[in-house]
Structure formats: C-alpha cells, structure tokens
Structure 1
Amino acid sequence: MSHLNQPFTFKSLSLRNRIVMPPMCQYSVEAKDGKPNAWHDVHYISRAVGGTGLIIMEMTDVEPDGRISNYDLGLWSDEQVPAFARVIDGVHRYGAKIGIQIAHAGRKAENAEVPVGPSALRYSEKYKQPRAMTTDEVRAMVGKFGDAARRAVAAGVDTIELHGAHGYLIHQFHSPSINNRDDEYGRERWRFGVEVVKAVKAQLPSDMPLLMRISAIEYVDDGYDIDYAIEMARHYRDAGVDIFNVSSGGEGPAGKRKPGNYPGYQVPFARQIKDELGVPVIACGSLDDPKLAQSVVANGDADLVAVGRGMLNDPYWAAHAIRATGGDKNGLLPRQYDRIV
C-alpha cells in the first residue's frame, strides 16, 4: 500500500493523494505585468497531468514593489485575474487541486527602487537599503493582502497559502533579528501576520482552508528557534491558519547554525509543530526519494509532503513515486500515458 496515494480532506479541500508541489519562483513573466503566461500553463498543468494532489503556485505579490524581481507573478489588479483563472482551470481539468502563495518580498525586493520592511535593516551588503514602513503603511499593507486573496478566490483557487517564511515580509515582522520597531507591530511581532491572516480569511469561503508557510528556525546568529516558532504559529493558528507548510531559514546569511544538507532535515520541525499545535502540516526539504516521502506520511510526521526539485526534474514524479511505493497504477496518469506505467 502506498501511503502517498491516500486521499486527504480538510474542510473543502479534497486531495487525491498526499503529494504537494510547493511554490517555486519561475521568474518568467514576460511583460513584467505579473500575469502568468504560456510557460506557467505548461509548468503547472504538466504536474497536474503527472498526478500531483495539490499544486501551490509560486510566490505571487500584492503590489509591484513587493516582487523579488519584475518577472514575478502578482495579484495587485483585477486585470490579472483571468490569466490566473486560465492556469487554475487547466490544473483542475487533470484532477489536481491548486492554491496560490500570496506574499510580499519586503526588504528582499531586488527591483524595487527603495524596498520596504519593518525596519531599515539590510538583508546583506548585496541588497538595497530598505526603508522602515510607517504604521499607516503597515495597516494599508494588510489590506493589500486581503485584496490579493479576493482576486485569488475569484480566479478559482482551492486554497491560499501565505508566505511567512524565508525572510519575506511576514517573516521579517515576526523575526526578532529583523523587527526593531517601537510601535504595536514591534511590541507584538506577530501582530502584522495575525492581521494579514484575518484579512485574508475574511475573503475566503467559510470552508476553504488557509495555509501558511513558516520558517521553523532561523540560521542567522541569535535567530529564533523552534520554541519561538511554535508560539508564533500558535498565534497564527488562533487567527485562522488551518495548515502549516514547515520550512526553515531564509532570513539572512547563516551564522554558526547551518541548514541541513541531507534528505528530510526539516521533517522533525514539521512533526513538532504538528504535535504541539494539533494541526495538519506539510513537510518539505529534500524529500525526492519516494520511500523517504512515504515514510514521512506513514510515520505521521506530516500529513502531506512537498517535493520541489524532484518535480522540476520529473513532471510525473507523483505518479512514479506512488508506483514505486506500491500504489495502484490505475488512474495515476491519463489513458494516453498508460503504456509507460
């Protein structure tokens, strides 16, 4: 029996299996208008054809200066909705469910003339000097996340993921190493994230789950650890997050503590958050080996597994992994490809 091939249901989200394609920036918007194009059609729809249960579209930004680069996706305008709806409809046609990761790069916005963040602290010497947002700008940014969520729902998504990891804006606010504000968004570092969660949740159908990607630990010297992340995630859960996608790092150049370079190194973080908070979690981080991915689900370490590089290498990774772990080959791929299964 393949545990990867077991269906998963939470609220209105019903997945055919436990395999997730995580958001991975493609930097492929041609007109710099934030709209997905033919590349994104092929990139996402081919993974739906390949048997993936849930596809999460790459980091999609709430304003032009919130992009990592000018070639990133965006949902800051109603005019962008039809292009997203086209991709989403195509994914649905082949049996997968799809969400969008909504975000703002903050101080890591490389093409913004003057990046913004919670504080005027540069990511590294290779990045531009950011400007600290005013309190009114922070409040307005919360609204922009809500507006982007409304557009994602209009485009037909099955779920939304907020990017609270890897050193982007929400992470910047809840990180003690980055946020040195003296207003309410500094005194309560997760306040911005909590307000974003509530603003986004207000735009979702009542039965649509909200996902959030978080970094469970930081690697900069004096960065936070798993205990801080659990307390932070508790606030987000109570505000409305249903499922956590558990990653780590990205807030700055690593110090004495280094990220792992072995398969499954982030799985223990996912398990601890799952156990402490009693919520479903997605594990990620070098889970390309089907047997390893299967063990994560079978052991109860996570409810879902996200495989990024494996799917870049093989659009049919999901079908091949299910077959390699003893799953029923029937229905893994469209009938046109039955001969290769």
Structure 2
Amino acid sequence: MAFAARLRWVALLVVPAVASILSKSLSSRRGLPLPPVAVVPGGRGWFRLFLDSVALEDPASVRCFAERMTVAYDAASDDYHNAPGVETRVPFFSSVRGFRHPDPDRWNFSYMDRFLFGYRDGETLFGAPYDFRYAVAPPGHPSRAGDAFFARLKGLVERASRRNGGRPVTIVAHSYGGTLAHQFLLRRPLAWRTRFVRRFVPVAAPWGGVVLGMLTLVSGNSLGLPFVDPLALRDEYRSLQSSLWPLPSPVVFGAARPLVTTRSRAYTAHDMAAFLGDIGMGAAPPGEMGRRRLLHHQIKSRWCWDTIDTMGDRESMDRSPLVH
C-alpha cells in the first residue's frame, strides 16, 4: 500500500491500442443507403459502430458495417476522409470509459484493470482514444484526423498536469497507440516535453511494423468474432490509411529476410509496393509509402524511451533507442 500511495500522484494518460478502441469509441450517423436490415433503427442519431459484435452476427449488417468503416483517399487534398454520407466521432475523450471493455456488450474482461488500482478516472487517470482508421503524416503533409488528435492530446496532457499540481504526466501507450504517441512527442518542442511529460512508456508498440499487417491485407480480419467472414471485411481494411502503417519496415526487417512466400516469388520488407500490387490493391496513394518510410526511420529518436520506471529520478531516464 505504501508503494501504491507513492504512485498516486503520478498522473497516467493512456493512449490505447486498436483492439482497445473497439468499444464505444467510434460512432456513425447519416449512414449510406443500405438494405433495411443494415440501417440503424430510426435512421438518425449516433450509435455505436465499432465494436458492435451483436450487430455483426447478421451477414447483411457486416456489409453495412464495412461500408461505414471504409475511408477514401482524396487526391486533390492528399488526405483521407469518411465514405460519403458517413459522419464519425470518438466519444469519451479524456476518459478511459471508451476503451475499458473491448466488447461493451459482453464485459467479459477489462482492458484497464491493471491501471485502475489507486487511480481515479478524470483525476489521476486519463484516456486518449482516437479514430484508428487514420494514420499521421510527416510534417509538411496533410493529415486532418492526425492533426486534430494531436491537438486534443496536447490539451489533455496539459490539463492532466494542471489537475495534478502542475507535475508532468506519464504517457502509457499500447501497440498502435505507442506509435501515435511517439509521433506526437517528436512534434512537440523539447521545452514542452520536459515541462509536461515525466515518462513515455510504450507497451508492445510495432516500431518496425508487423508481418500480421500483410496477412490482414491478403485475408481480411474477423475482428476475433467466429461468426464473421474475414474476407467480408478485407476491402474495408484495405481502404484504411492505418492499414499501411504496420507493414514491415526495411529499417528493421532488412532486404534478405522473406516475409511472404508464394509459388512464384518471395516478398521482403523492400517489396511492399510489389506486394500491394500483386494482391490486387494496386498502387498506394502517391507518396504514402514514402511517408511510411520517413516515419519508420524516426524510431531511432532519443525520445523513444525504453523504460517503465515511474518512480526513478527524471534525470536518469533511459533514453536509449529501441532500434539500433
């Protein structure tokens, strides 16, 4: 208990993983004209879109879900946006309510149990859910969704600090949330980071990409639901800006290691453009693969800390690169 008492003053701000956003974090209204079985009752108002496992038990609703989740690339603005007729939002920003339970219909486990001991939501514990369909772009490139999230995250960090006596906060970021939080910190001035951020604790962040990202582009993803055909969601997943983010990076995987092997050829991390073309996706939006490479090269930043020590001296933080 003495240890817990010492921890309580360290405000935690959680940037969750994609899987943890599957509760009441993404809603939609003004849906596309779809079969009646796929239309939300009443046809108006906000409703939970991701994850609604009960609705996905109906194959017709799966198609409706896929169309509402799809994003489109606009060449004129060089950015991504929702499908026509779809409006989305991420509720419960600043709280962990939106991602505490990955499936709010079942409440079979809590994503946040290990964080709740000794912390109070909105006082010493804060959450930064986001629209995981989008990624961020390097400075100088448009990213409406990414820029908006970073602006809200900056304000939340500062508010959490003020709420806790002006002390800097600890940012705990899981999986994809770790890569987003890392990019956020890279884009903040050193003076701001020193003033407001005590620790950055990335947990299982895919710094150099994952081969699973290639598998999902080929075969789709059932969202862990046994009654969902993964191929039914493949086109939706391929449309997401964030689907290119976790592709393996040559910086980490190199040029010699085969990641996908077919009867005709093998693909390494240097062959992502050819891989996308051969699986029927065509070319990525202009500049998108180059943006990925630039973002992956930034993982060597000294602000990517490899530490979970929230009680140590700030001046002795381990700032060694996670990737050498």
Asked which structure has the greater CA Rg, the reply is 2
Q: TM-score, normalised by structure 1?
A: 0.30
Q: TM-score, normalised by structure 2?
A: 0.31
